[in-house]
Structures are given as structure tokens and as C-alpha cells.
Amino acid sequence: MRFLAVVMTGLSLVAPAAHAFALLNKIGMAKADYFIAQQAYAGWWIVGLLLPLALLANIGNAVALRADGTAMGLSVAAAALIALNLVIFMVFTQPANAATENWAVQPENWESLRTRWEYSHAVNAVVTFLAFCCATLASLR
């Protein structure tokens, strides 16, 4: 269970980290260029399926480590951070995806949508990295 929690959480970090690293290169792009660049993410929704799996793995790890209060607490924290990632995605990222039909439609407020999309991914990279740290520390105890 420990291994599964660390691996699933680590894999869940890959996509938000990639988005965060691309942010500085993309945030100032012209409209046409930005919408072209966004097409690189077509099909990435499948990577999002790792988040619920990471959530379940960390909950399972918390149960498995319940005899060690610190390890259990770290596993619960990892699960809570993964849940926070999902909330941030649903509140900030997904509405931008919906408003732009996954960046195929260019609405008038595209710049504010871009800001929400880019920075929500950056925040989720930090949140998921913290979850990964918690899952790793819990599993090393």
C-alpha cells in the first residue's frame, strides 16, 4: 500500500508540474499562439484519472498505517491535498476548459480564462508536490 500511495501520487504530479513549468513560456503568448499551444494537451484528460486513484491509495495507506499516528496523519494529509487538487480543478480549471470548449473556441474573456487555467495548474503543482512529500514521508516511517 505504501508503494502504491507514493507511485500514484508521484504520477499525479507529472501533469500539473508540466503545466507549471510551461507557464512562464505561455502566459504572455498572443491569442492565436496560445490557442495553438493549448492543443498540445488534447487527450490529457486521461492523466486526470490518476488523481482519484492517488486519493484512494492515500486513504488506503492511512488505514494500513493507522497504528502509527504520524504516518497515518501524513497519509490523511496527502489524501486531503489530492482532494484539494480536485476542488481547485473543478472550481478554476474546468470552467475555463468548458468556456473555451477545451481551447477550441476563443471567447472575449480568453485572457482571464487563460490566467485562471494557468495559475490553477501552478497551484495544483504545489499542492500535489506537497501530497507527494506527505505520501513519501508516511511510507518511509
Q: What is the pLDDT of residues 29-81, one digit of tens each?
A: 999 999 999 999 998 889 999 999 999 999 999 999 999 999 999 999 999 99
Range of the domain at 84: 2-140
How many structural domains compose the chain?
Answer: 1
Predicted TM-score (pTM) above 0.85 = yes
Q: What is the pLDDT of residues 87-120, one digit of tens each?
A: 999 999 999 999 999 999 999 999 999 999 999 9
Task: Quote the CA–CA distance of 59 and 63 in Å, as a whole number.
Answer: 6
102-110 — which CB contacts under 8 Å span 24+ positions? 102/38, 102/42, 103/35, 103/38, 103/39, 103/41, 104/35, 106/31, 106/35, 110/31, 110/34, 110/35
